[in-house]
Amino acid sequence: MKDLHLIVVGKLNDNHIAELERDYFKRLTSPKLFIHEVRAHSENLEKEAKEVESKLAELEKSDKLFIVLLTEMGVQFDSIKFSSWLSDLSSRHKLVFIIGGASGHGKSIIERAHFKLSLSELTYPHKLARLLLVEQIYRAQTIKANHPYNK
């Protein structure tokens, strides 16, 4: 499996959520997950898109990317289907998940995405969406390994 990458617009400034995220990171073994925070630009989607594009260009130097955009208008999976989807794609592609800023995603990022993923029909603060995605990646790993975490 190839490593996974998560590009997030904005920094995680909540110590409680950061601690939970670190706990999942300790547990993740394969694939590894790397989080890249890019600068938020107060509701300026095009500036944020340029920040994301810059990080994508950096990641693309070593491998072709499969870009997954997190959006409430994306495809929803249950955890078992997500695990299977993630395992299949990460065996073939360098996956990059993108969580946009408070105003969403810039047009260039939306057009560049290969897949749109939704965690729920509910709208979450970006810091919680980030934590939920990290937890679901860990859960996917445990499902694949037949670990009892996914009860």
Span 36-95, pLDDT tens digits: 999 988 778 889 999 999 999 999 987 889 999 999 889 999 999 999 999 999 888 999
Q: What is the rounded CA–CA span in Å between residue 65 and residue 52?
A: 13
Cis? peptide before 148, omega within 30° of 0 = no
Confidence (pLDDT) at 103: 80
**Mean pLDDT value of segment 119-131:** 90
**pLDDT, tens digit, 9 for 90 and up, residues 16-30:** 999 999 999 888 887
pTM of the model: 0.92
Is residue 126 situated within a structural domain? yes
SS3 letters across the chain: CCCEEEEEECCCCCHHHHHHHHHHHHHCCCCCEEEEEECCCCCCHHHHHHHHHHHHHHHHCCCCEEEEEEEEEEECCCHHHHHHHHHHHHHHCEEEEEECECCECCHHHHHHCCEEECCCCCCCCHHHHHHHHHHHHHHHHHHHCCCCCCC
Confidence of residue 123 (pLDDT cuts 50, 70, 90): confident
- Average predicted confidence (pLDDT) for the chain: 90
In a domain, 104, yes or no: yes
Would you say residue 149 lies in a domain?
no
Q: Contact, 119 vs 111, CB < 8 A?
A: no
Residue 96 has pLDDT above 80, yes or no: yes
Closest by Cα among 149, 150, 126, 136 to 17: 126
In a domain? residue 150: no
Distance CA 94, CA 72 (A): 23
CATH number at residue 58: 3.40.1280.10
Q: What is the mean pLDDT of residues 123-127?
A: 87
Q: What is the dihedral of CA 58, 144, 82, 99, to 10 degrees?
A: -30
**Does pLDDT of 150 surpass 70?**
no
**Is 127 a member of any domain?**
yes
Domain hosting residue 34, numbered range = 4-144
Q: Is residue 151 in some structural domain?
A: no
Number of structural domains (the chain) is: 1
Asked whether residue 106 is assigned to any structural domain, the reply reads yes
Residue 1 confidence (pLDDT) above 70: no
Percent with pLDDT over 90 in the chain: 62
81 occurs within a structural domain? yes
Tokens of 64: 């072709």
